[in-house]
Amino acid sequence: MVTSQHEASHRIFQERPDLLAPVFRILGVPLPENADVEILSADVTEIRPLERRVDTVLRVGRPGGERLMLAIEAQGKRAEEKVVSWAYYLSYLKAKYKCPALLLVVCQDKATADWAAGPFRLGPDGWAALSLHPLVVGPGNLPMITDEEEAAQDLTLATFSAMAHGRHQEAPAILEALARALETVDKEVFSYYSDMLEIALGDETPAQETWRNLMSSRTIFPGRGTAVETLYLEGKAEGRAEERAQNVLRVLDKRGILVQNVTRERITNCTDLSTLGRWLDRAFSVDSAEEIFAEES
Asked if 277 and 241 touch (Cβ cutoff 8 Å), the reply is no
Which of 60, 59, 57, 54 has its CA nearest to residue 75? 54
Q: Determine phi and psi for 72, rounding to 5 degrees.
A: -115, 125
Looking at the predicted structure, is the pLDDT value of residue 234 above 80? no
Looking at the predicted structure, is the pLDDT value of residue 226 above 50? no
Residue 63 confidence class, pLDDT cut points 50, 70, 90: confident
Helix (H, G, I), strand (E, B) or coil at 100: coil
**143: cis peptide before it, omega within 30°?**
no
Out of 100-114, 158-172, 203-217, least confident range:
203-217
Question: What count of other Cβ atoms lies within 10 Å of the Cβ of residue 16?
Answer: 17
Query: What is the average pLDDT value for the chain, to the nearest integer?
Result: 84
How many Å apart are CA 53 and CA 76, to the nearest integer? 17
Contacts of 6 (CB under 8 A, 6+ apart): 55, 74, 76
Looking at the predicted structure, is the pLDDT value of residue 1 above 50? no
Give the angle subtended at the CA of 36 by the CAs of 9 and 52, to the nearest 5°: 45
pLDDT of residue 188: 83
233/55: higher pLDDT: 55
- For residue 143, how many C-alpha atoms fall within 13 Å in the half-sphere facing its CB? 13
Question: What count of other Cβ atoms lies within 10 Å of the Cβ of residue 10?
Answer: 21
Architecture, CATH, for domain 5-137? 3-Layer(aba) Sandwich (3.40)
Which runs of E-coded beta strand occur in the chain? Answer: 36-40, 56-61, 67-75, 101-107, 120-122, 130-132, 135-137
Percent of residues, the chain, with pLDDT higher than 90 = 37
Looking at the predicted structure, is the pLDDT value of residue 248 above 80? yes
How many Å apart are CA 178 and CA 138, to the nearest integer? 18
Of these ranges, 161-165, 193-197, 293-297, the one predicted with the greatest mean pLDDT is: 161-165
Phi-psi region of 207 (alpha: psi -120 to 50; beta: other; left: phi over 0): alpha
pTM of the model: 0.67
First to last CA, the chain: 43
Looking at the predicted structure, is the pLDDT value of residue 288 above 70? yes
